[in-house]
Every structure is written in C-alpha cells, then in structure tokens.
Amino acid sequence: MENTDFLPLQRTDASAESVYVARPSAWYRLQQNKLALVGLGIIVVMIILAIVGPMFSSYTYAEQDLMAANQGPSSAHWFGTDTLGRDLYTRVMYGARISLTIGFVAALINLVIGVIYGGVSGFFGGKVDRVMMGIVDILYGIPLLLYVILLMVVLEPGLTSIFIALGIAYWLTMARIVRSQIIKIKKEEYVIAAQSMGIPSWRILWRHILPNCAGPIIITMTLAIPEAIFTEAFLSFIGLGVSAPMASWGVLAAEGINSMRSYPFQLIFPALAISITMLGFAFFGDGLRNALDPKGGDKS
C-alpha cells in the first residue's frame, strides 16, 4: 500500500495566485486617500500663489495710499486695503512667501540636525547615547514656545532671528524618532554582517541604516512645516516676528484684529490663508503616515 504521508501538497491556480499578490505601494495607498490628495493640492496651490501671486497685482506690499485706506474688496483691491491703504491681496500673497519659507527652512534644519544627532546617538549607543539624549531631555523640559520666545527676546525680531530660533528648538522630536528607529534597525542581520566585514561605521549608518528610516523621517518633516508656520504666525502676532513693513500671515492677522469690528475682511483673508494651509499639511501628513505604514495601509 502506497504511503501518502509525504506527498506534495497540490495547490490550485487560484490559491497560488493569492500567495503572490504584491503589496500595494506607498504611492498607491496615498492615491486612495482622498483627503491626502486634497491636502497635497492645497500645498501645491499655496506654493504657486506664493511664487506668482504678487505678480498679478500692480501694487507692492509696502506701497501706501492713505486716501484708499480701509476700502473693502473691489476690482481695484481684490482683498481690500488696510489702515494705511496698502493692498491686502499683495500683502497676503507676499506673506505666503515668508510664512512658507519659514516652514520649509525650519523643516530642513530639523532634518539635518535631527537626523545627524539622532543617528549618531542611536548607532553608537552606550555613554554617547546617554549623554546626547540627556541633553535632549533637558531641552525637552522647556516648553517649546517659551524656548523660542526667550530666544527671540535675546535676538532682535526679524526673519533671520526666526530661522535661528526655530533651528535651535525644532530638531528634538526628529532626533528622538531617528534614534529609536536606528536602535531597532542596527540589530538587523545585514547591519551585523556589514560590521563584521569591517565597513566603516559612517558608511553603514549613511548607506544601510538611514535609508530604512526614510518613512518616519519624511512624516516628521512634513508635520514640522505647519508647526513652524503656526509658531511664526504666533510670534508675529505678539510682535516678535518679522519687522515692518514685511508682511507674514501672523503680522497681517495682528494688524487685522485691531479693526476686526469695523473692517473684518482685514482679518478674514490672512486667517483663511493660515487655516487652509494648516489643513492642507494636516491632511497630507496624515495620509502620508498611513501610506508609509504597511499596517495602516492594509487596514485602509
């Protein structure tokens, strides 16, 4: 009698195909998230308006016309004018340049300092890790806004001072995230194999470990941009932001709130610009998180 205990398992074509179904890519999962696409569209539109928006106006952001002060939206002034007769549309578009530039520059500084600091701390570990993370913990003990405000008081208000303040304070979260990712990844077999082959530590960190941390790094960087924009708007609102006559969205909101009862449009337009941009980055950042997380992508 033939022994059937060790016969190969017969699989149908359908079952075989189901085994080899490819996992959807991150871009495919992002495309399925409608809110993320809406957020991406908002970001792209805001960047385009910041670049070309002021070109559609015949006014400059600092040009004053006291005879045309506090005029409502019209064909001559699409968003109206402020208390000094300056064209509000031009100032909102110019403010987009400043606010978005601050957001992207702060995110870039966050990327460079946070990745290098967290990468070195997580890869070498031991005393190096304890000392470096101890410094981060001390800085984390100070509320972020208080930390930035104190720096802005020491430094003179202005665009360069905002870059310095945000650059010093905004890399802490990135450093922690990169460190935690590297601590997990450096235990992988391919990293241990690279170390046993005598490959320099900097090369292992740069070519083998950091590329596998790209997902959390991109997500953190994306979410840092609206946070920096909002922080700048708050600093400008309380008088610690860019100096007049430069116009960021925070400066315009601070100027508009003084005449909110009589001329509400002076506050509505810059407030809408801030709100729409925040929503755009929030939608896109949330969708990007789900797209780069395989488990989150499977659930959706």
**Predicted local confidence at residue 4, as pLDDT:** 57
Per the DSSP assignment, residues forming a β-bridge with 270 are none
Q: How far apart are CA 265 and CA 259, in angstroms?
A: 9
**Predicted local confidence at residue 9, as pLDDT:** 54
Entry pTM: 0.78
Indicate the angle between helix axes 88-124 and 126-140, nearest 10 degrees: 150
SS3 280: helix
SS3 262: coil
**Predicted local confidence at residue 5, as pLDDT:** 58
Q: How far apart are CA 177 and CA 170, in angstroms?
A: 13
Q: What is the pLDDT of residues 206-232, one digit of tens each?
A: 777 877 888 888 888 888 888 888 888
DSSP 66-95: GGGTT--S-SSSTT-B-TT--BHHHHHHHH
**Domains annotated on the chain, with CATH:** 33-53+76-292 (1.10.3720.10)
Q: What is the pLDDT of residues 47-89, one digit of tens each?
A: 999 999 888 888 888 888 888 888 989 888 899 999 888 999 9
**Predicted local confidence at residue 11, as pLDDT:** 54
Indicate if the pLDDT at residue 110 is higher than 70.
yes
Confidence of residue 170 (pLDDT cuts 50, 70, 90): confident
DSSP E strands in the chain: the ranges are none
**Predicted local confidence at residue 65, as pLDDT:** 86
Please state, as a whole number, how many other Cβ atoms lie within 10 Å of the Cβ of residue 72. Answer: 13
Q: What is the pLDDT of residues 61-72, one digit of tens each?
A: 888 888 888 898
**Predicted local confidence at residue 92, as pLDDT:** 93
If you average pLDDT over residues 18-46, what whole number do you get? 78
Q: Residue 263: phi, psi to the nearest 5? A: -135, 75
Confidence of residue 3 (pLDDT cuts 50, 70, 90): low
Please state, as a whole number, how many other Cβ atoms lie within 10 Å of the Cβ of residue 66. Answer: 11
Confidence of residue 276 (pLDDT cuts 50, 70, 90): very high
Cα R_g (the chain), whole angstroms? 26
Indicate if the pLDDT at residue 188 is higher than 60.
yes
Q: What is the mean pLDDT of the chain?
A: 82
Q: Which residues of 163-175 are buried (b: 16+ CB within 10 A; e: fewer)?
A: bbbbbebbbbbbb
Indicate if the pLDDT at residue 255 is higher than 90.
no
Per the CB < 8 A criterion, the answer to whether 133 and 121 are in contact is: yes
Measured between alpha carbons, how far apart are the two ends of the chain, in Å? Answer: 52
Q: What is the pLDDT of residues 128-154, one digit of tens each?
A: 999 999 998 888 887 777 777 777 777
- Amino acid letter for position 275: S
